[in-house]
A and B are shown apart, each in its own frame.
Chain A
Amino acid sequence: GAVVSQHPSRVICKSGTSVKIECRSLDFQATTMFWYRQFPKQSLMLMATSNEGSKATYEQGVEKDKFLINHASLTLSTLTVTSAHPEDSSFYICSASRGLAGGIKYNEQFFGPGTRLTVL
């Protein structure tokens, strides 16, 4: 259980175009989804946190108009990179977590396999 998928796994696009990446929780309902960005040989940097049905919360320095996040259902979140440029090329990883219940304070994140974006 707790499988998260991402689509596409790889995408190459031209500069100026927009790219949409999907993140799906396949066997559980994800109350919260997270989007990370990872540069080569570097750590994961949290871009934004999204809760189903509400606006995403972006980390400092992340342009919300450039990285549009939609969490329309409990199993799907999308990240759209608008007007992509070569500097947006990166590995984008999503994660998903279930809702907190029963007084549990910790909410494990389950990670997707990532999407490699290359902007030419």
Chain B
Amino acid sequence: AQSVTQLDSQVPVFEEAPVELRCNYSSSVSVYLFWYVQYPNQGLQLLLKYLSGSTLVKGINGFEAEFNKSQTSFHLRKPSVHISDTAEYFCAVSVILTGGGNKLTFGTGTQLKVEL
């Protein structure tokens, strides 16, 4: 079975400062990795994903993440945050199901709070 760990439940940061949200995973098979953002009372929006290829993945809103297989990590970074980045961020892994399709397993989420 696969699992995702987001050690930081909350990350406060000042506007225009850099931020890193940590994500570690465990799986006995190859996985696909994702970061989603959720604004209050809304569904999830995909920020970026790693399927294969380059380990540095760039997403929307200036976010990027780096897949590190040896450390089983997929940390999310942004060099300069904005107030509008305040939201809940979820890391997720996906494994291929027997018979096709994928199943997502989510971490517990990190609340990013950007302050003036």
Binding site for B on A (CB under 8 A): 4, 6, 32, 34, 41-46, 49, 51, 91, 93, 95, 97, 100, 105-109, 111-114, 116
Main SS at interface, chain B: strand
Contact of A113 among B43, B51, B103, B105 (CB under 8 A): B43
Contact of A111 among B45, B102, B111 (CB under 8 A): B45
User: Quick check: A108 and B44 within 8 Å, CB to CB?
Assistant: no
User: Quick check: B44 and A111 within 8 Å, CB to CB?
Assistant: yes
Bound form: Cα–Cα A44–B91 in Å = 11
Task: Given contacts A108-B49, A111-B43, list 12 more A-B pairs with CB under 8 A.
Answer: A41-B111, A44-B90, A46-B104, A49-B103, A91-B41, A97-B102, A105-B96, A105-B102, A108-B46, A109-B102, A111-B45, A114-B43
User: Quick check: A43 and B101 within 8 Å, CB to CB?
Assistant: no
Those of B59-116 within 8 Å (CB) of chain A: 90, 94, 96, 100-109, 111
Bound form: Cα–Cα A111–B92 in Å = 14
Binding site for A on B (CB under 8 A): 32, 36, 41-46, 49, 51, 90, 94, 96, 100-109, 111
Q: 10 A-B Cβ contacts within 8 A?
A: A34-B104, A43-B107, A43-B108, A44-B106, A49-B101, A97-B101, A100-B100, A113-B42, A113-B43, A114-B41
Chain A residue at smallest Cβ distance from B102? A107
Bound form: Cα–Cα A71–B105 in Å = 22
Chain A residue at smallest Cβ distance from B105? A46
Bound form: Cα–Cα A49–B104 in Å = 11
User: Quick check: B42 and A114 within 8 Å, CB to CB?
Assistant: yes
Bound form: Cα–Cα A106–B49 in Å = 11
Chain A residue at smallest Cβ distance from B32? A106
Bound form: Cα–Cα A107–B36 in Å = 16
User: Quick check: A107 and B103 within 8 Å, CB to CB?
Assistant: no
Bound form: Cα–Cα A44–B107 in Å = 8
